[in-house]
Amino acid sequence: MTISLETAASTNASSVVSSHFINGEWTDAGGPTFPVHNPLNGELVGEAAAGGSAEARAAVEAAAAAFPAWANLAPGARQLLFLKAADIVERRTEELVELMAVEGGASRAFSSFQIRLSAAMLRQAAGWGYLPAGDVLRSDVPGRTATVTRKPLGVVAGFTPWNGAFYLAWRTFLLPMAFGNTTVIKPSELAPRSAGLVHAEILEEAGFPAGTFNVVTHAPGEAPAISDVFFESPAVRCINFTGSDRTARILGAQAGRALKRMVLELGGFNPVLILDDADVEESIRAVTFGAFLHQGQVCMNSRKVYVHSSLHDEFVAGLKARVETLKIGDPRDPAVIIGPLINDGAVEQIAARVQDALDRGAALVTGGTADGRLYPPTILSHVPADAICSTGADETFGPLLVIEAFDDAEEAFRASQNTPFGLSASIMTRNRARGLDLAARFDTGIIHINAPTMASEASLPVGGVKDSGWGRSGYYAIEDFTEVRLTTVSREPGRYPF
């Protein structure tokens, strides 16, 4: 396993930001701020504004005031804005790669992946305004015409995460905006610029109207001051949250009291089933990517592999050899694939779960020893079912993969479903019909055959079931960010019972 701690040359793409973005304006500097640190080495990369309820209310008011004009903007005008934003994203690629490295520990491979997806999503959303706006329905009442149209909700408040920050932030606010809503974003305090503020820079340059997109940042531990405003304000019609199921339960309780609509993109356990007829080399490649992209800090990362016993030894040996070639170190080095975990708590969680499994009799295939916040891809086999990392009851957010051999595919399938999560899963088999039959039985929002659990495209409807949340991305998000309105017109006098 190659570990490189050499630091690439610094650039000026650090997260030096001390302003919120409200109503098309960067607020004056000089208020309270909080530090943002590089997860690799703890170096200060910037200061961000420490906002609270006053800033959140101002942002919501700005979004509410901008909503009528944005909702009624001609689709061609909105299209030009989205297309220009996509061009700006691509033009700023090198700066964005640097930003995601120093603020979130993203490798060049992962940050480039996010940039491509973001530009593609912007260009796809640019055309949605020209899609049919509704339906004409038949009525049993003579002379009556019934139409159903979709209308934007109003203000959508979004919570954007630190992991996959750049792309997931676009997904959080772009989808509501594409359907005519205005937005307020609260980025993670761990990556405030790559999770929201840099997007404001891009949309401002693209010429988006003031108030359509607003960003309020906060210091660690101060999120409730902002989120409370979102739930209390009548103007906010929907909360769009990407994060953990634990935080979602807290927000969901608030949403229930406030009768707010919520869209939730949460965690996943994301099993892989490698059947006895699978291509072993392709399975190794898919699992390596699916398990260890961004150090296992993505909700769709593979967490457990069930491999047929006839392929087990070959698969484990090949996987071990492959992951040990992945370079670990400063994500600004283009050769590095595995960067740092986001903070010390993340390292401690992985270390504790690896040790728990080893104490219960698991075998360490590779990895398992941290170097600061650099934690190598770690593979465990022969893990007892009661080990925390193996139960599927809680998401282990990092580069830890559990491998379990099976003889009976039906038993492996049932075991893979014994989890409260239902985000993604993969089946590796040469028999596509067999794969489709098995896939139909999975209780997940996503199921891939002969592809990683991480397979993603901007146009595809990503989302989970059970404790992995509800709602979908892509055009299917129209169900979450619009409401259906029935309008009838009667051409003949009505007939009434009284």
Residues serving a catalytic function are 265, 299
- The DSSP annotation for 373-401 comes to TB---EEEES--TTSHHHHSSS---SSEE
Question: Is 498 within 8 Å of 256 (Cβ atoms)?
Answer: no
Cα separation of 235 and 248, whole Å?
A: 21
- Which of these, 70, 139, 177, lies nearest to 486 by C-alpha position? 139
How far is Cα of residue 131 from the mean position of the Cα atoms in its chain?
Answer: 26
- Which of these, 394, 449, 459, 355, lies nearest to 117 by C-alpha position? 459
DSSP H stretches of helix in 106-194: 108-125, 165-178
Which residue type does 235 have? A
Task: Write out the H or E segment, with its range, that includes residue 46.
Answer: strand 44-49
- The DSSP annotation for 311-357 comes to HHHHHHHHHHHHHTTS-EE-TTSTT--B---SSHHHHHHHHHHHHHH
Contacts of 155 (CB under 8 A, 6+ apart): 60, 63, 64, 67, 181, 182, 183, 184, 233, 235, 236, 237
Question: Is 212 within 8 Å of 70 (Cβ atoms)?
Answer: yes
Cα separation of 417 and 425, whole Å?
A: 10
Question: Is 287 within 8 Å of 305 (Cβ atoms)?
Answer: yes
Cα separation of 350 and 399, whole Å?
A: 8
Q: What is the DSSP letter of 371?
A: B
First to last CA, the chain: 83
Question: Interhelix angle for 280-292 vs 309-323, to 10°?
Answer: 50
Q: Which residue has the tokens 């139909």?
A: 440
- Which of these, 151, 164, 154, lies nearest to 191 by C-alpha position? 164
